[in-house]
């Protein structure tokens, strides 16, 4: 096989005309003949460049509203024919099929059409058939054919041609083939996912697709290879962040920042400033505040030890006053909807700190399923979008929560949703006071939250810290009264939990004896 191959004929059919004319001029400059379809041919011709219509190649006009135009042996034979096969050469000569050495195709904007909210029939018409078929043919025969599907690769092609005097290397063509097959796989995945959602059916086969954002230095540990991909077209969630300063985001940074974005999104619409501090994908402090600074200091006070080297997220614009507090403690990542110029200047003294803004809510347009790999496959589930308001609570004890307790219960419930199970969250006056996460026993999680609360109160200079109302949220029901008793011993006065245990009656009776206000939500928030 000859390593370097000359390009003599190119077929171009693109939906995205970005860079088209400059590319066409450059190709013609290398003596390459251009063949094209419909709108692409028109654009090239209007630029004063020579181009052959694909209908001249096939002997058939474009028909059926453009559904049929390139599905023809003169096209696919020109792409698939092996240049070193006597049989192929003979049959191509017999049927007057000429080689096509370069295929440039980007597909109908199906994904964009779906995201724009068009109706079913409009989306159907934006499913490209001829384009993927040509890409597959060209990619299969990359031994002899160059195939481009991304406008970002135009420059790479021209650099290759310049380097090799109008020729391309096998390694280059193979890389292009990988990109092409990845694109058709992603395209087909988008179509099948849309059909599944449209019909409400679970597909027999599921393909996960994404677009590479960046290769990461390593994974959870230095010996692991890792990369970050985005799903969909819109830059939402972590794909939509703006990085203002700091080192590259690591695998663990991205994972923990995602946890922070998920939790802070619970409060995106809240008028009060809220701060979330995450460590190892678990919240170690969450709080409301009169100001953003107050919210941060209250969240930090919950567990200052764990907050060291953590992720800090806000639901409001980050200001200078808050920034000055943030730089007092080592923090890996700070993320907010926006940041003032004066606050940015404060962070100039901490060049390694990763400063991010995300103007888009994690929840907005985020309807994709959660996917988790397991040995031999993966698990898929819908997002846990269950929310509860005070009016929806089921009051099960003789004493109902006070208005202050009710607010703290809802707050604690939102936080518990993002704590690894078994999850116990103590809240007082809109701030977490103790979080027990990831224990095998709910009693142990309660003990952990209690110990953190005791540590906090022992350090507090406020004499009233141990007095008054203390709310508790549990992500699942109490199977026995022992967890509840342990919570009351710590000072808990109200509890929110899903209910649903066979021993609910027994747990309620104990709560009544201890004068505890307890409410049921009817749904749990397991996060394993």
Given strand 394-395, what is the order of strands in its sheet? 242-245, 354-357, 331-336, 310-314, 274-279, 282-288, 431-436, 424-428, 471-474, 494-497, 517-520, 394-395
Positions annotated as catalytic residues are 140, 280
The residue written with tokens 């070193």 in the block is: 84
| CA gyration radius, the chain | 30
Residues with Cβ within 8 Å of 7's Cβ and at least 6 positions away in sequence, in order, are: 27, 30, 32, 101, 102, 146, 161, 166, 167, 168
DSSP states of 243-298? EEESSPPPHHHHHHHHHHHHHHGGGTT-SS-EEEEEETTEEEEEEE-SSHHHHHHH
Query: Residues 287, 431: contact at Cβ < 8 Å?
Result: yes
d(CA 31, CA 44): 16
CA dist., res. 196 & res. 160, Å (int): 41
**Nearest Cα to 104, choosing from 45, 191, 179, 4?**
179
Spatial CB neighbours of 304, under 8 Å, sequence gap ≥ 6: 329
């Amino acid at each position: 096989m000859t390593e370097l191959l000359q390009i003599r004929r190119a077929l171009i059919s693109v939906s995205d005309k970005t860079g088209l004319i400059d590319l066409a001029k450059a190709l013609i400059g290398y003596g390459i003949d251009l063949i094209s379809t419909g709108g692409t041919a028109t654009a090239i011709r209007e630029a004063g460049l020579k181009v052959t219509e694909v209908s001249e190649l096939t002997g058939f006009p474009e028909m059926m509203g453009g559904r049929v135009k390139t599905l023809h042996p003169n096209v696919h034979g020109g792409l698939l024919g092996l240049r070193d096969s006597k049989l192929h050469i003979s049959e191509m000569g017999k049927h007057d099929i000429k080689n096509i050495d370069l295929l440039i195709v980007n597909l109908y904007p199906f994904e964009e059409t779906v995201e724009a909210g068009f109706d079913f029939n409009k989306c159907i018409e934006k499913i490209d058939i001829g384009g993927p078929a040509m890409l597959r043919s060209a990619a299969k025969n990359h031994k002899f054919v160059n195939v481009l599907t991304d406008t970002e690769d135009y420059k790479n092609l021209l650099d290759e041609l310049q380097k090799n005097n109008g020729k391309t290397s096998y390694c280059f063509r193979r890389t292009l083939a990988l990109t092409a097959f990845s694109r058709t796989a992603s395209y087909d995945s988008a179509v099948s996912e849309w059909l599944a959602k449209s019909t409400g059916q679970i597909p027999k086969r599921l393909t996960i697709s994404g677009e590479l954002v960046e290769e990461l230095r390593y994974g959870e540990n230095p010996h692991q290879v890792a990369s970050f991909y985005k799903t969909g077209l819109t830059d939402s969630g972590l794909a939509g962040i703006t990085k203002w300063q700091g080192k590259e985001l690591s695998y663990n940074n991205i994972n923990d920042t995602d946890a922070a974005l998920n939790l802070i999104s619970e409060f995106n619409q809240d008028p009060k400033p809220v701060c979330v501090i995450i460590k190892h994908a678990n919240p170690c402090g969450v709080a409301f505040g009169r100001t953003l600074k107050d919210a941060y200091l209250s969240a930090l006070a919950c567990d200052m030890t764990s907050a060291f080297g953590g992720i800090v997220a806000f639901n409001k614009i980050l200001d200078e006053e808050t920034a000055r507090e943030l730089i007092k403690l080592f923090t890996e990542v700070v993320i907010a909807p926006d940041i003032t110029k004066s606050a940015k200047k404060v962070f100039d003294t901490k060049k390694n700190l990763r400063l991010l803004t995300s103007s888009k809510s994690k929840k907005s347009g985020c309807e994709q399923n959660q996917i988790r790999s397991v040995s031999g496959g993966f698990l898929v589930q819908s997002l846990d979008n269950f929310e509860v308001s005070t009016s929806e609570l089921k009051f099960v004890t003789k004493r109902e929560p006070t208005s202050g307790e009710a607010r703290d219960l809802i707050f604690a419930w939102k936080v518990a949703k993002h704590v690894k199970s078994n999850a116990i969250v103590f809240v007082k006056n809109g701030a977490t006071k103790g979080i027990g996460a990831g224990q095998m026993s709910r009693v142990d999680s309660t003990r952990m939250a209690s110990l953190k609360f005791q540590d906090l109160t022992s350090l507090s200079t406020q004499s009233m810290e141990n007095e008054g109302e203390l709310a508790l949220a549990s992500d699942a029901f109490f199977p026995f009264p022992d967890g509840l008793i342990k919570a009351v011993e710590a000072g808990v006065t109200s509890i929110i939990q899903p209910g649903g245990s066979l021993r609910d009656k027994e747990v309620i009776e104990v709560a009544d004896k201890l004068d505890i206000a307890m409410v049921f939500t009817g749904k749990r928030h397991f996060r394993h």
